[in-house]
Structure formats: C-alpha cells, structure tokens
Amino acid sequence: MKLGILLSGRGSNFLAIADSIQQGRLPNAEIAVVISNIADAPGILAARERSLPSIIIEAGGRKRAEHDAAMVACLRAHNVDLVCLAGYMRLLSPKFLQAYPLRILNIHPSLLPAFPGLDAQQQALDYGAKVTGCTVHFVDEQLDHGVIVLQKAVPVLDGDDARTLSSRILEQEHVAYTQAIARACSGGYHITGRRYVLRESQT
C-alpha cells in the first residue's frame, strides 16, 4: 500500500506513521510521497531529512480545484493508493474526493461528531467535556464528517489547559493513525451506511 501524506505544519502524525513503517508495525505500507502546501512546514523539512520524496505544492492564489488538480496529479505520479491527511489545513475539492473514493483518511483531535473544525481541544475544554479524544475517519465533502474508522478516548482532567489536553490526545493520535492504516492495508472491513465494520479476524 503506497501512502501519500499531506501536511501543512508540524508533522508529528506523519513522523509517527514513518516510525511505524520503519519499526515494522506497518509491514505492507510505504510512504510514496509527502506533500505540503506550506513551503517551510516543519513536517516537510522532516520528510526531506528522512530522504522521503517531499514535494511542496503551494496554492499561490490559485482556485481550490486548480491546486487540488496539481495535488492529485502528484499523488497519481507516485502511484499512491491511500491518502493520509496529517494536519493538512485545506478542504479538499469534490474532484479530489472523486479521485480517491474512500481512500482518503484524516485525523481529528476530538471524538466526532463532537467539536469539529479548528481548536477542537479548546472546544472540549470550553464545553466542559470530561472525555474527549481523537477520530480517524474517511474524508467526504463535509468538514470532519466522513465514515469513522476508529476513535480513542482520553480523560479531560480538572487541571488541563489546551496544551496539556492536546498533548494527551496527540499521543493517542499517533497510535490511532497507525492502526487505521494497518486496517486499510489488510482490507479486512466493510462499510455499511456510516458504519465501518471489521471482519472478525481483524482487531
């Protein structure tokens, strides 16, 4: 399974995936390309340091459809099977979604459908939630909305601020993304409506 990683920033989820591959936890996956829409994103610099194919495709004032066409062309040129959004801060156009149906994953730092959009951790704190977490889901045309692959819960502690809560969630994000990719590689699931159901032999 050839992965295309899209990012815009820090890239800790990308690095967790890269480590999982390197350490044998994703034996059937390889990173075919890392693409950033931000030239100096730390994630793309880290990809370059690891000698992974690293490409910058800035929007540069282009329309979303035009920028996405360049992204899709790049993913296709690298024979990508599964697109993993890892802190990619742009919405995808319908054409992009059609190019990879049920083959684009995203990770979001809340238990969706609670707290979609930006600053999900602060949203959980402000709401007074006692439990939050992260969600890996397929991307569809609505923000933070597609079929859920898996979720991990973490407690919200009384002393938390956005920083401490974010780092507790992030630890789980790194585990969750690897698990979700392992499931995608195995193909041991089916989707009925919004329900992603594992075959019995899968965990």
Q: Which region among 11-19, 24-32, 62-70, 148-156 touches ligand GRF (by CB under 6 A)? A: 11-19
Task: Give the three-state DSSP class for 70.
Answer: helix
Report the C-alpha gap between 173 and 134 in whole angstroms: 6
4 binding ligand GRF? (CB under 6 A): no
Is 78 assigned a catalytic role?
Answer: no
User: Cβ closer to ligand GRF: 69 or 140?
Assistant: 140
Q: Which region among 23-31, 70-78, 104-112, 123-131 touches ligand GRF (by CB under 6 A)? A: 104-112
Residues whose CB falls within 8 Å of the CB of residue 120, separated by 6 or more in sequence, listed in order: 108, 109, 110, 132
Report the C-alpha gap between 88 and 36 in whole angstroms: 8
Task: Give the three-state DSSP class for 107.
Answer: strand
173 binding ligand GRF? (CB under 6 A): yes
Site string for ligand GRF, 107-146 (x = CB under 6 A): xxx-------------------------------------
Instruction: Rule CB under 6 A: choose which of 1, 2, 9, 186 binds ligand GRF.
Output: 9
Instruction: Choose, from 67, 108, 145, 190, the residue flagged as catalytic.
Output: 108
> Residue 49 burial by CB count (10 A; 0-12/13-18/19+): exposed, middle or buried?
exposed
Residues annotated as catalytic are 108
